A and B are shown apart, each in its own frame.
Chain A
Amino acid sequence: MGKLQHIACEHCDLLLDAPQLQEGESAHCPRCGHKISRLRKQLMPQLLAYSITGLILLFLSGSFSLMTINLGGNISEITLWQSALNLYFDQYKALSLVVFVLIVVVPAVVVSLVLFFIMMIKFDARPKMLSNVLRLIFGLLPWAMAEVFLVGVLVSLVKLVTISQMELGWSFWAYGLFCLCYAKVLSLLDRYQLWSWLTHGVRYAPL
């Protein structure tokens, strides 16, 4: 299959000539303003770097305490896993799993799949299932709520800070940095670019 000649805007279905982007340029739909594609400089190395860093940070944030409360000598401490899974023992099994999936599983899976995809493209191995990987990545994107969880942790901190001594653990900072990496990966992911790597291979990839 050749390079795409025409495309249609995802949001308004306007038929357009496929943009030929240079690095650093982006294309918007002339009718509805939807950002169609954006070709970042050094896209592949950046995606590789941020997804590896993100995975390491997520692993680290699972290994330390998230926050500690000290209420008149009574000390209690939670980890990232516990913050989701403790609900499980309060008879809220479904809710606990939903929270766990949204804040840990989905972000981890998305970043791992991006890493896997980039590695496969780099080594020019393009098995059939790689298109399913790509579909899964874009399908999961709205369900990763790492940054929302971060705000949730801050809100609970403020709720408690008036009545007790609170301390944020290493896990919080690792998770915060993970959110930054994740946001960067998210802003780099470009549907057209990734699919064109998949169909044409690394020859068209700027690296």
Chain B
Amino acid sequence: MRHYSEGSAASNGLVSCTECACLSPNELTRCPRCHAKLTSRQAYSLQLTLALLTTALLLFIPANLLPMMVTEKLGQVEYNTILGGIILLWKEGSHPIAVVVFVASVIVPILKFIILYYLCFCSLNPGAISAKTRTNLYRLTELIGRWSMVDIFVVAVLVALIQLDHLLNVQPGNGTIAFAGVVILTMFSAKAFDPRILWDKPLTRDENTRARN
């Protein structure tokens, strides 16, 4: 339960369809225009976001510890994790590419975790940051989330391309599955989060107990 923000459609007894943006009175359960389900705020938005986010955070551990790529060079087998691959790129002198991969597969997921956890926390305890900034942070996570997939695509291309038997051979590692899971789950988690609750006021503890009784 929460206090809908001032001037919002919800506080005026209206509900906006998330699919077609058509406004309807909030007694309706389905949008008259596109027949999508109508809810003023996505049901269990916080719970769903947190559940998906925490699953992704747990998967982030094997994603970084397990190898992404197994390279066989003249009989020598080499296992590369995400960070290992980036360090290798840096040592070989391709600094700009190393930075691109570092940002896409290390900074972006961590930033997403921090922002989404912070936003969930904020929607219960309005923080020091204004609602507008928080909404901008949310938009940022939606914008950058997809770019973490770069590393998976690199592995896919390298595995497909380099099949030169014993001379040079590349196989995917188990880390790829964990990492793809992290990216996909965080994207679902950002989708499950309803930014409109950032503008509402949560109930105080007294109001909460009164609502429960």
Contact = CB atoms under 8 A, between A and B. Distances in A.
Contacts, number: 191
Contacts of A13: 4-5, 8-10, 16, 40, 196, 199
Interface in A2-33: 4, 6-8, 10-15, 31-33
A87 B177 contact: no
- Main SS at interface, chain A: helix
Contacts of B195: 11-12
Interface residues of B, number: 68
- Main SS at interface, chain B: helix
A99 B179 CA distance: 13
A25 B89 CA distance: 46
A145 interface: yes
Contact of A76 (B20, B149, B163): B163
Which one of B94, B160, B164, B195 has the greatest number of beta carbons of chain A within 10 Å? B160
Interface in A151-205: 151-153, 155-156, 158-160, 162, 191-192, 195, 199
A75 to B, nearest CB: 9
Contact of A83 (B14, B21, B156): B156
Contact of B160 (A87, A94, A102, A145): A87
B64 interface: no
A135 B154 contact: no
Contacts of A138: 19
Interface string B24-57: 0000000011111000100000000000000000
Contacts of B107: none
Which one of B142, B145, B180 has the greatest number of beta carbons of chain A within 10 Å? B180
A82 to B, nearest CB: 5
Contacts of A148: 146-147, 149-150, 153
B164 A71 contact: yes
Interface of A: 1, 4, 6-8, 10-15, 31-34, 66-67, 69, 71-72, 74, 76, 78, 82-87, 90, 92, 94-96, 98-99, 102-103, 131, 134-135, 138, 142-143, 145, 148-149, 151-153, 155-156, 158-160, 162, 191-192, 195, 199
Given A86-B160, A160-B158, 18 more contacts: A11-B138, A14-B8, A32-B135, A33-B132, A66-B157, A67-B161, A71-B167, A92-B172, A92-B176, A95-B180, A142-B142, A148-B150, A153-B153, A159-B97, A159-B154, A195-B20, A195-B22, A199-B33
Interface of B: 4-5, 7-10, 12, 14, 16, 18-23, 32-36, 40, 89, 92-94, 97, 100-101, 104, 131-132, 135-136, 138-139, 142, 145-147, 149-154, 156-164, 167-168, 171-172, 176-177, 180, 184, 187, 191, 195-196, 198-199
